[in-house]
Chain A
Amino acid sequence: MFRFILRRLLQMVLAFFGTTLIVYALMFAGQGDPIQALAGERPVTAAQRAYLTEKFHLDRTGVGGFFYRYFDYLRNLLQGDLGQSLTGRSIGDILAAAWPVTVKLALIAMAVTILFGVTAGVLAGIRRASIFDNSTLLLTLLVLGIPTIVLAPLAQYLLGVRWQLFPPTAGADPDLYALLLPGIVLGSLSLATALRLTRTSVAENLRADYVRTARSKGLVKRRIVSVHVLRNSLIPVVTFLGVELGNLMSGAIITEGVFNIPGVGFNLFRGIRTEDGPLVVGIVSVLVVVYLVSNLVVDVLYAVLDPRIRYE
């Protein structure tokens, strides 16, 4: 177990360096004269040039200099200093204001997923090949096949503008009601996957030997399903939900952009639109870290939850 965690941790560190290196290299390396780029069309005096060269360690050239500046960027990232966006606001401040909204949205999506996805999945798994099972399968296929850029504007138009059941956009400081529709849209994809996963898992476990034993002992079906089957079949679902929580936090770019929710994804959306390089890099770096850490936690959780799984 300890060795597994260690190995997984090393792997994450590698992935962290790999992705941040790519992000950094693509955004900042090989772009001609960065000082002139910063100054735009205005002339740069020798003193300014010397100051900036000193400040950003531009005097070191070649591969060594590149890595020197890369580690500078990493140190700042790990210390939580993400620099400033092109509009002059501190990116750390922007993120601090945006996180609570994004977390709230992700939790709503997660609640929708668990409430509907897992429940329907268990029912479909028990009544395999029934009308309910087949119709949920078809419905989840539809949801999985429709991209968010179709689903989000469509839900906004039909439920928000046309029938006016929900507020079409959230705006600053959104309440729970305004976040409900975006939460459902955001959660629909993980809902479909969770449903299918639960269904397969339940259906497989129903055929297991211990279920036959329990039945021959004379236990009622309700007890077999709720005590024996559920506990075993929810293990993959729990780990999936863990991965999804990480995904939901980083994957809300489209949903937050469409519904005008001032979360992390929305700021990234705006950063892309306004060509705000530093803002995009800052947010992407943080999101990558969130994603990697949540994947790590889930993998370890998997091993803890299911002792049958042996990592050599």
Chain B
Amino acid sequence: MSDFETVAASENQAARRGPSGEPGAPNQVGVPQKPRSLAGDAWRDLRRKPIFWISLALVVLVAAMAAVPGLFTANDPRDCVLARQHAGPSGGAIFGYDFQGCDTYSRAVYGARASLLVGALSALLTGLIALAVGLLAGYFGRWVDAVLSRVIDIVLGIPLLLAAIVLLKRVNSDSSTVRISAVIFVLAVLGWTTAARVVRSSVITAKEQDYVAAARMLGAGDGRIMLRHILPNALAPAIVVLTIALGSFIAAEATLSFLGIGLRAPAISWGIDIDAGRVHMRESATPLLVPSVFLALTVLAFIMLGDAIRDAFDPKLR
């Protein structure tokens, strides 16, 4: 199995030199000015891609919605009057009202907060676990690597949705804070493995470099070498993986809320609204369509962003 991992490692070798500022190979074609780093090359590549700008704009828009939903809608998402059930657009409610008589658009705007919170925090937690495990396994090798790699294999072998169902069924509290933290925790505990493998393989290639040997000869300890010399090089590929993971965590949160084991009403989440809208789609489709489009665009934006950055950092495709 280690054959694959070395292949993956050599693939990551190029992506390894990220925004950390480690100067890459000087550009041989250009006039001998300042040598351009791989990050600089990647940035030049990214700037020309419309997909990068579109997805970045979407991400910024959703982030703004999550931070200050009041900027996008004046209506209260919890102001629901049954008399307005499935009523058409009026007074700021540009997409009309849902089955409970709540403003569909306003609920979709306020739903961004839960999604982004879960996505960002679980990606952060995932990143921390992955960096710790990947660094230890890649740097120390031998039995540490053997044990940690088997742990990765086992966790990777657990189907995410099924495990999340079992874990979240245990959470009986209806408090929004408890449920949202539980979802974040569960997604992080189950989702760190891919990133950990990426970190591990970039650590393995980084620790063979001359500057690591130089640092060791100068008397640097294991901790210093890991944190100052190896970690910055393992960071770039990990961040790319985590950007894509962030999108899938948002989708996972919505799926769990849709099933009724993630967030629960009165919390506002796209997954909850899609489930509610689905039941009444024959009477009125907009309460289903609006949160669906919001969710799909957000997940797509993160995945496309990660994809574009990865392509820019992967010299194989140049």
Contact = CB atoms under 8 A, between A and B. Distances in A.
Interface residues of B, number: 43
Interface string B134-171: 00000000000000001001100111011101110110
B152 to A, nearest CB: 11
Chain A interface helix/strand/loop/mixed: helix
Central interface residue in A26, A269, A310, by most chain B CB within 10 Å: A26
Interface stretch (B10-18, B59-67, B122-130, B258-266): B258-266
Contacts of B258: 149, 254
Given A161-B282, A280-B166, A153 B292 contact: yes
Interface stretch (B100-108, B177-185, B197-205, B295-303): B295-303
A27 interface: yes
Interface string A81-110: 000000000000000000000000000000
A26 B300 contact: no
Given A144-B303, A284-B162, A273 B154 contact: no
Contacts of B303: 141, 144-145
B281 A153 contact: yes
A157 interface: yes
Contacts of A257: 259
A284 B261 CA distance: 15
Contact of A11 (B154, B162, B261, B278): B154
A280 B254 contact: no
A273 B260 CA distance: 7
B166 A23 contact: yes
Contacts of A11: 150, 153-154
A186 interface: no
A280 B169 contact: yes
Contacts of B278: 153, 156, 258
Contact of A272 (B150, B251, B259, B277): B259
Interface string B284-304: 010011001001100110011
Q: 7 smallest A-B Cβ distances: which pairs? A: A145-B300, A147-B251, A150-B292, A153-B278, A15-B157, A149-B258, A145-B303
Interface of A: 11-12, 14-15, 18-19, 22-23, 26-27, 141-142, 144-150, 153-154, 156-157, 161-162, 247, 250-251, 253-254, 257-258, 268-269, 272-273, 277, 280-281, 284, 287-288, 291-292, 295, 309-312
